[in-house]
């Protein structure tokens, strides 16, 4: 099939998956995209992968940039044309973060990239059924019928022991003020749609600080080291708000047991 000059024929599976992931991610590196497409549809040919990415960039559907602290690795984000392309492919992405000439969100690049790593780690287990990104949660929260108690960094649905567990995931790079954690504590206590909350952080000091902030919670709130989680996922160690140490798999099994009561 021929296409007019400047147009691009989009694959309903592969191009759609890539554009959707980039829209979800806000920012994504080339290596993260490579890992994602492998786990999504088992693309093993690096030349084909590079051709597909370059094609989407040249068509103006993704923006490519280089930032100094990524050691020359390319960084990608969705464009307005990319969102329109997703709509043609059947995904109406109301929560998309569109390209801007000077993006006010660029300071969030490290946060976005770490969330991508968390999501890819879960996807590598083959048990990740659904991932709702922060941007989509903001849209859901516009309606009382679909709203969560707060805007989480991500919501993951996992298939565990023949059943499903849905949990909120927060990546906390730095410590917030006590007043902010008081509001977060109240929101989590009032949450009606979720029972499990996982905070991933870069240091043990931050783990202990968060545990102190959530002392007395009645919800299943857990805290772990992000690097440990990315490497081990289900075997990663986490701590409860009462300082109990267990694995992430134990957390999910505890959530299933509670749901069946």
CA distance 103 to 241: 37
Whole-number pLDDT of residue 12: 83
d(CA 240, CA 217): 10
Q: In what order do the strands lie in the sheet with 163-171?
A: 128-133, 154-160, 163-171, 196-201, 220-225, 237-240, 245-247
CATH tag, 14-103: 1.10.10.10
Residues sharing a CB contact under 8 Å with residue 181, sequence separation 6 or more, in sequence order: 213, 214
Q: Domains of the chain: which residue ranges?
A: 14-103, 125-259
Confidence at residue 42, expressed as pLDDT on a 0 to 100 scale:
85
Model pTM score: 0.91
pLDDT at 257: 87
DSSP letter, residue 24: H
Q: How far apart are CA 93 and CA 85, in angstroms?
A: 10
In a structure prediction context, what are the per-residue pLDDT tens digits for the chain, which is 261 residues long?
A: 333 444 578 888 899 999 999 999 999 999 999 999 999 988 888 999 999 999 999 999 999 999 888 888 999 999 999 999 999 998 886 554 554 444 545 678 999 999 999 999 999 999 999 999 998 999 999 999 999 999 999 999 999 989 999 999 999 999 999 999 999 999 999 999 999 999 999 999 999 999 999 999 989 999 999 999 999 999 999 999 999 999 999 999 999 988 776
Q: How far apart are CA 111 and CA 132, in angstroms?
A: 16
pLDDT for position 3:
38
What is the residue-wise DSSP string for 114-179?
A: HHHHHHHHHHHTT-EEEEEEHHHHHHHTTSTTT--SS--SEEEEEEETTEEEEEEEEE--S---HH
Burial class (CB in 10 A: 0-12, 13-18, 19+), 36: buried
| pLDDT score recorded for residue 44 | 84
């Amino acid at each position: 099939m021929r296409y007019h000059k400047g147009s691009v024929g989009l694959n309903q599976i592969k191009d759609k998956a890539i554009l959707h992931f980039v829209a979800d991610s806000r920012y994504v590196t080339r290596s993260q995209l490579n890992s994602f497409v492998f786990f999504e549809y088992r693309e093993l040919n690096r030349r084909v992968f590079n051709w597909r990415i370059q094609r989407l960039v040249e068509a103006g559907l993704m923006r490519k940039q280089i930032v100094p602290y990524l050691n020359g690795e390319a960084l990608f984000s969705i464009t307005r044309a990319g969102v329109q392309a997703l709509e043609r492919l059947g995904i109406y992405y109301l929560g998309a973060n569109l390209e801007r000439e000077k993006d006010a969100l660029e300071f969030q690049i490290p946060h976005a990239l770490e969330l991508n790593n968390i999501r890819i780690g879960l996807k590598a287990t083959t048990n990740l059924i659904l991932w709702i990104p922060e941007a989509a949660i903001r849209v859901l929260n516009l309606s009382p019928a679909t709203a969560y108690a707060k805007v989480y960094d991500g919501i993951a649905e996992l298939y565990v022991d023949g059943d499903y567990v849905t949990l909120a995931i927060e990546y906390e790079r730095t410590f917030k003020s006590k007043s902010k954690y008081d509001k977060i504590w109240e929101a989590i206590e009032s949450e009606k749609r979720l029972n499990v909350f996982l905070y991933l952080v870069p240091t043990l000091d931050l783990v202990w600080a968060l545990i102190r902030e959530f002392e007395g919670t009645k919800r299943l709130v857990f805290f772990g080291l992000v690097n440990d989680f990315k490497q081990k996922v289900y075997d990663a160690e986490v701590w409860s708000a009462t300082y109990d140490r267990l694995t992430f798999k134990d957390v999910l099994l505890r959530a299933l047991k509670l749901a069946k009561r």
